[in-house]
Amino acid sequence: MARRLSIACLQTCPKATIGEAIDEALPIAEKAVEAGADILFLPEYCSGLVSEEGMLKPPAAPDEDHPMVSVFQQFAKRTKVAVSLGSVAVSAASEKIVNRSIMISADGKVISRYDKIHLFDVQISATEVYRESATVIAGNHASIINLDDFKLAHVICYDLRFPQLFRDLAQAGAEVIAVPAAFMKKTGEVHWHVLNRARAIENGCFIVAPCAVGQIPGGGASYGHSLIVNPWGEVLADGKEERGFIQARIDLDEVKHARARIPSLSHDQNYKVTS
């Protein structure tokens, strides 16, 4: 029997405070549920994002009573729709924060947490430099969520550039991998679609990539173009540069069919690199 699911990516604008971020996301979430979505995916730092001299300084709160998490727990319980909070900034014991993805079940319970492993330390140009590690503690653990009748994994933004992480998750059974992001506009224009489609093709899985859109308070801009990509690498929905949401109905059995046609996940070989 086919396993079909209606999913939606919220494409929200970066906001300076958690309160503003909640006000931004909730109305869009309501519309996505009204449109029939079974599960919602929000972008990275959906609880707010600010930059300051090349450093990302999102508003943070403790994990146990984070306002964004609490609000969407109530939302999920009321609507009976699962919610993936792409990431929120969580306070840590040190002066740094944790960039944490939160999965909320349809009954309002937090069922998974993932802390971003690969941190965005890059120099895009002479004047555009980002050092996420200056303010964020990296995670060291990835996991798969058994959600209803399928297996879901989540990574975050810069993780997209590390294909071995995706391969490990796919080989462990992940059928859908969420890639929430606040991808920079400059790199997004050339890399975003290619990387997301490649990760779907390489692993024969659905890629669900909600991305923030528009100017980041303090400087910089997010690319938008939230994507839903099938296991064959075809783009089912693209948010382009519009605030709102995208939606697609997916058949999870396509994962099995794609992996049967090109079973590369079982073809790994041992080899040496010499120079």
172 within some domain: yes
Which residue type is seen at 255?
Answer: V
273 within some domain: no
Q: Is residue 10 a contact partner of residue 40, using CB atoms and an 8 Å limit?
A: yes
Residue 157 appears among annotated catalytic residues: yes
| The dihedral sign for the CA sequence 101, 129, 164, 38 | positive
11 within some domain: yes
Q: Which residues of the chain have pLDDT under 70?
A: 1-2, 54
What is residue 127's predicted lDDT score, i.e. its pLDDT? 76
245 within some domain: yes
Domain count of the fold of the chain: 1
Give the span between the Cα atoms of 184 and 44, in whole angstroms. 12
Q: Is residue 58 a contact partner of residue 45, using CB atoms and an 8 Å limit?
A: yes
205 within some domain: yes
Q: Which of these is catalytic: 9, 13, 46, 157?
A: 157
- Give the model confidence (pLDDT) of 147-189 as tens digits: 888 999 999 999 999 999 999 999 999 999 999 999 999 999 9
Give the span between the Cα atoms of 233 and 239, in whole angstroms. 17
Q: Is residue 157 a contact partner of residue 181, using CB atoms and an 8 Å limit?
A: yes
272 within some domain: no
Cα dihedral 66, 70, 73, 74, rounded to 10, equals -170
What is residue 2's predicted lDDT score, i.e. its pLDDT? 54
* Full domain range(s) for residue 135: 4-264
Give the span between the Cα atoms of 29 and 42, in whole angstroms. 9
Q: Is residue 86 a contact partner of residue 41, using CB atoms and an 8 Å limit?
A: yes
Q: Which of these is catalytic: 13, 24, 57, 116?
A: 116
Give the span between the Cα atoms of 232 and 208, in whole angstroms. 14
Domain harbouring 44, CATH code: 3.60.110.10
Q: Which of these is catalytic: 9, 13, 24, 44?
A: 44
Give the span between the Cα atoms of 28 and 13, in whole angstroms. 11
275 within some domain: no
What is residue 1's predicted lDDT score, i.e. its pLDDT? 39
Residue 44 appears among annotated catalytic residues: yes
274 within some domain: no
